[in-house]
Amino acid sequence: MIEVEHLPVVDVHCHPFLERGAVTAEAFTDLTAFGGGSRQYLEAGGVAWSEEVRDELQRIKRSTLYFKRMILDLARFFDVEPSVDTVVAARNAAVADNYPGYVSRLYGDARLETLVFDFGFPLPMLDVERVRGELPVEVVPVFRIEPLIADLLKADIGWSEFRRRYDETIANALTTQGFRGVKSIIAYRTGLDISPLSRTPDQGLQALDAIRRGLGGGSMKKLRDHLLCRALELCMDHDVLIQIHTGMGDFEVNLLLCRPAYLMDLLRFPAYRACRVLLVHTGYPYHREAAYIANVLPRVYCDLSEGIPFAGNAAWDIVRGVLAMAPLNKVCYGSDGYALPEINYTSAKLGKQAVAAVLRELVSDGMLSQSDADAAAAMILAGNARELYRLG
Ligand SMILES: [Zn+2]
């Protein structure tokens, strides 16, 4: 047996949210389900919106293992019948009664104590203090570079000013605004096949000039690649971790160029070997690649988020596949939760269950001693993330 119920949890990658009050069952489904598309997605493809199409999307969203699991977890928590309607009614009553009190009981049930929030989603960026004020847990903010890049591209400025503001904004976020690290979603934009030689400032100058003159030729990729290299340098200067999105995401992700393997050339380049890098989503469904990289590159780490909880029972496969190669002190639990507090909750329950089950197998297979497995559970669920973000 690996006892995990009592263990505290740090959710190393998720997104901030504010209280939304009561929601309908339909809105709850839209806000918490993963995948299945949206009204905007279908309308942009020429599908006329109707009640039938709405019901079709709701049925898809409610038919994933992840969503069904969440309803079961919440039904147990509220002690009601496991249906979307009863669970949503119970959570709305609890929210109306006392939102922080509800979140406190919910997160207390999973011993979820710390949320590392990527403030780059949703946009416009939520106010850190306001988010912190609503949540009865430790909030650790992380700064995403892509909204900054979008702002700088909109400004009528040349390269030297662009680069100065880029550096200054990131440095300020880390030194005066309380952000504890940096995040990039370049996998969503131009992919992870980034040459470390993109670090030369001339590449930024040339790329921005070409963009300003309306030339294509991969200029945007050249600019983004250069700016990611620069972000790695700033993270080393400030001695903070960078989270890089790898693997799964929403339908916009480039499902080929999001493979962690594409990052190898960059991460093993001598100038970047000192940088601490967390491979967000551990590249799922390419999680074994991320685990291998974490094995051979000393400062690369894996975050189990998004596959847990949204890939449902793949949680076991993800933990098993990652632990096959990633050192036990380099794997961090995360959820990628957003919008409503219930996602982080069900994810923490599922994550604990999968971590415990896989460690139990490893003990019975003679791969780990019981005490090593007990220690590993505490490290994966909280300790490794606390160390990476120096959370005391
Ligand atoms: Zn995320």
| Ligand 1 geometric centre to CA of 114 (Å) | 16
Q: How far is CA 253 from the centre of its chain?
A: 14
Supply 199's token pair: 């670090």
Model confidence pLDDT, tens digit, residues 20-34:
999 999 999 999 999
Quote the pTM value: 0.97
Each residue of 13-24: b (16+ CB within 10 Å) or e?
A: bbbbbeeeeebe
| Ligand 1 geometric centre to CA of 206 (Å) | 31
Supply 354's token pair: 């999968």
pLDDT of 234 > 90? The answer is: yes
Model confidence pLDDT, tens digit, residues 285-296:
999 999 999 999
Report whether 355 contacts 377 (CB < 8 A).
yes
As separate numbers, helices (DSSP H) first and strands (DSSP E) second, the chain gives 19, 9
Instruction: Spell out the long-range contacts of 57-64 with Cβ–Cβ below 8 A and sequence spacing 24 or more.
Output: 58/26, 58/29, 60/35, 60/36, 61/29, 61/30, 61/33, 61/35, 61/36, 62/29, 62/33, 64/33, 64/34, 64/35, 64/36, 64/310, 64/312
Instruction: Provide the pLDDT for residue 377.
Output: 98
Give the separation between CA 165 and CA 48, rounded to whole angstroms.
44
Residue 341: closest CA among 7, 23, 3, 62: 23
Give the separation between CA 287 and CA 283, rounded to whole angstroms.
5
Model confidence pLDDT, tens digit, residues 99-124:
999 999 999 999 999 999 999 999 99
| Ligand 1 geometric centre to CA of 196 (Å) | 25
Q: In which band, very low, low, confident or very high, does the pLDDT at 364 lie, cut at 50, 70 and 90? A: very high
Instruction: Provide the pLDDT for residue 345.
Output: 98
Report whether 162 contacts 212 (CB < 8 A).
no
| Ligand 1 geometric centre to CA of 145 (Å) | 13
pLDDT of 216 > 90? The answer is: no
| Ligand 1 geometric centre to CA of 336 (Å) | 5
Supply 241's token pair: 């971790």
Identify which has the larger pLDDT, 300 or 1.
300
- Percentage of the chain with pLDDT > 70? 100
Burial class (CB in 10 A: 0-12, 13-18, 19+), 294: buried
Q: What angle do CA 381, 382, 384 make, to 5 degrees?
A: 105
Q: Are strands 242-245 and 277-280 parallel, antiparallel or unpaired?
A: parallel
| Ligand 1 geometric centre to CA of 17 (Å) | 13
Instruction: Provide the pLDDT for residue 250.
Output: 86
> Which domains are assigned to the chain?
9-24+99-388 (3.20.20.140)
Instruction: Provide the pLDDT for residue 33.
Output: 97
| Ligand 1 geometric centre to CA of 15 (Å) | 6
pLDDT of 252 > 90? The answer is: no
Instruction: Provide the pLDDT for residue 211.
Output: 96
Instruction: Provide the pLDDT for residue 69.
Output: 98
Secondary structure (3-state) at 243: strand
| Ligand 1 geometric centre to CA of 327 (Å) | 23
Give the separation between CA 282 and CA 267, rounded to whole angstroms.
15
| Ligand 1 geometric centre to CA of 189 (Å) | 14
pLDDT of 251 > 90? The answer is: no
| Ligand 1 geometric centre to CA of 16 (Å) | 10
| Sheet strands (E) in 189-316 | 242-245, 277-280, 300-303, 305-306
Model confidence pLDDT, tens digit, residues 3-18:
999 999 999 999 999 9
Q: In which band, very low, low, confident or very high, does the pLDDT at 181 lie, cut at 50, 70 and 90? A: very high
Give the separation between CA 240 and CA 255, rounded to whole angstroms.
28
Instruction: Provide the pLDDT for residue 237.
Output: 98
Instruction: Provide the pLDDT for residue 150.
Output: 97
Give the separation between CA 337 and CA 13, rounded to whole angstroms.
8
| Ligand 1 geometric centre to CA of 9 (Å) | 18
Provide the 8-state DSSP code for 270: G
| Ligand 1 geometric centre to CA of 178 (Å) | 20
Give the separation between CA 337 and CA 165, rounded to whole angstroms.
31
Secondary structure (3-state) at 356: helix
| Ligand 1 geometric centre to CA of 365 (Å) | 34
Secondary element (H or E) of residue 339: none
Q: In which band, very low, low, confident or very high, does the pLDDT at 392 lie, cut at 50, 70 and 90? A: confident
Give the chain's mean pLDDT: 97
Residue 363: closest CA among 48, 69, 2: 2
| Ligand 1 geometric centre to CA of 197 (Å) | 28
Model confidence pLDDT, tens digit, residues 254-273:
889 999 999 999 999 999 99
| Ligand 1 geometric centre to CA of 157 (Å) | 30
